């Protein structure tokens, strides 16, 4: 009987330690976010791009590159998570919210054609252009997405300033 109590006591102490340990997927996501921050990207939690107004959960992660263009017309979202929103000119992509002006066509075309299936949405807000990625299934290294965002930043800063 004493041995059963001792084993139970050890399990009671050891279980919380095992519970807190990161899974391989969690380690991979933490490493991706660390690399993103070291590469100059901002990593922030955000709502799903296709969320309704009453949906407030922060279930997505946005990787954003700061840019010098900070005008209010820089506010749009193009997503391919669901069938919500209006269809766009780019296959499988749908508008979530307002559509931008024609001057954004080059940036959007570049982002949609360069992005792999890991990219679930393109987001622009004053001063930032970003991607929402499927972090669990990133097929390319993060440097691929850093390059895409850097090139997009150059297009925005060059053509829209």
Q: Would you state the pLDDT for residue 24? A: 84
> 160 pLDDT band (50/70/90 cuts)?
low
Q: How far apart are CA 34 and CA 39, in angstroms?
A: 9
Containing 125, the helix (H) or strand (E) segment is strand 119-125
DSSP 8-state assignment for residue 40: T
pLDDT number for residue 142: 77
Instruction: Put the strands of the sheet holding 128-133 in their side by side order.
Output: 42-46, 60-66, 128-133, 119-125, 76-79, 94-95, 86-87
Any idea where the domains of the chain sit in the sequence?
24-160
pTM: 0.79
Q: Please write the tens of the pLDDT for every residue from 78-92.
A: 888 888 888 888 888
Q: Tell me how far CA of residue 53 lies from CA of 43, 86, 156, in angstroms.
A: 23, 16, 29
């Amino acid at each position: 009987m004493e041995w059963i109590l001792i084993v139970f006591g050890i399990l009671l102490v050891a279980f919380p330690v095992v519970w807190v340990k990161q899974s391989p997927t969690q380690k991979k996501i933490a490493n991706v976010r660390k690399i993103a921050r070291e590469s100059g990207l901002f990593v922030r939690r955000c709502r799903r791009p296709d969320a309704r107004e009453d949906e407030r959960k922060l279930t997505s992660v946005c990787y954003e590159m700061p840019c010098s263009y900070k005008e209010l017309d820089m506010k749009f979202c193009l997503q391919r998570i669901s069938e919500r929103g209006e269809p766009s000119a780019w296959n499988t992509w749908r508008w979530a919210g307002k559509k931008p002006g024609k001057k954004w066509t080059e940036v959007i075309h570049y982002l949609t054609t360069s992005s792999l299936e890991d990219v679930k949405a393109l987001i622009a807000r004053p001063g930032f252009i970003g991607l929402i990625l499927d972090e669990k299934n990133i097929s390319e290294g993060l440097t691929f997405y850093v390059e895409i965002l850097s090139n997009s930043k150059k297009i925005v800063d060059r053509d829209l300033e």
